[in-house]
Amino acid sequence: MKMNMEGSFIVVEGIDGSGTTTQRDLLCKWIKDMDREVVSTHEPTEEGIGRLIRERLVHDSHDYSPETIGLAFAADRLIHLEEKIIPSLEKGKTVVSDRYYHSSLVYQPEHGADSEWVKEINKHARKPDLTILVDVPAEVALRRQKERDGGESSIIFERSEFQKRIRDRYKNLEEVLEENIYIVDGNRSIEEVHEDVKKIVEEELL
Ligand code: ADP
Ligand code: TYD
| Distance (Å) from CA 120 to ligand 1 centroid | 32
Q: Is 133 helix (H, G, I), strand (E, B) or coil?
A: strand
Radius of gyration of the chain measured on its C-alpha atoms: 17
pTM, to two decimals = 0.95
Confidence check: pLDDT of 4 > 80: no
pLDDT digit string, tens, across residues 48-90: 999 999 998 887 777 899 999 999 999 999 999 999 999 999 9
For the chain, percent of residues with pLDDT exceeding 90? 83
Across the chain, mean pLDDT equals 93
Task: Check residue 59 and give its pLDDT.
Answer: 77
Please work out whether the CB of residue 136 comes within 6 Å of at least one atom of ligand 1: no
Adjacency order of strands within the sheet including 9-13: 38-42, 94-98, 9-13, 130-135, 182-185
- For the chain, which domains are there? 9-205 (3.40.50.300)
Which atom of ligand 1 is nearest the CA belonging to 14? 3
Confidence check: pLDDT of 162 > 50: yes
Which atom of ligand 1 is nearest the CA belonging to 193? 23
Please work out whether the CB of residue 107 comes within 6 Å of at least one atom of ligand 2: yes
Q: Is 198 helix (H, G, I), strand (E, B) or coil?
A: helix
